[in-house]
Amino acid sequence: QLQPAESGGGLAQSGGSPRLPCTTAGSRWSFLAAAWYRQAPGKERESVAAISRSGTSNYADSVKGRFTISEDNTGNTVYLQMHSLKPEDTAVYFCYDHQIGVDYWGKGTLVTVSS
């Protein structure tokens, strides 16, 4: 079964700048958009950042100016660059790959921010 693969999670310090890569699951020709979601303990999953095929990106207000979503030249890897981490950024981060006719979710990677 195709599935995006996230990595880069772990323990990070407040103010840190980790980067989360995601290897997308589908083919480049059917790619429409990719996004990062997160789910904190006891909370619902929320959208963090998204990038479209054209390169347009958008962000949740809580991370705007601190996080950046991007993709590499092949379009097969999507990154979430995080800066100025806060303890409230602690969550499981999921990669979402939106393709023509099908969507893929990764299993998630846990980011724990220490104060």
User: What was the pLDDT predicted at 83?
Assistant: 98
> What is the band of 26 on the pLDDT scale with cuts at 50, 70, 90?
confident
Sequence letter at residue 68: T
Residue carrying structure tokens 């990062």:
36
d(CA 44, CA 55): 27
Give me the torsion for CA of 41, 79, 50, 18, rounded to 10°. 40
> What is the band of 110 on the pLDDT scale with cuts at 50, 70, 90?
very high
Mean pLDDT for the stretch of residues 79-85: 98
Per-residue model confidence as pLDDT tens digits over 32-73:
999 999 999 999 999 999 999 999 999 999 999 999 999 988
- Contact in structure between 21 and 8 (CB atoms under 8 Å): yes
User: What was the pLDDT predicted at 2?
Assistant: 81
CA 99, 71, 101 angle in degrees (round to 5)?
0
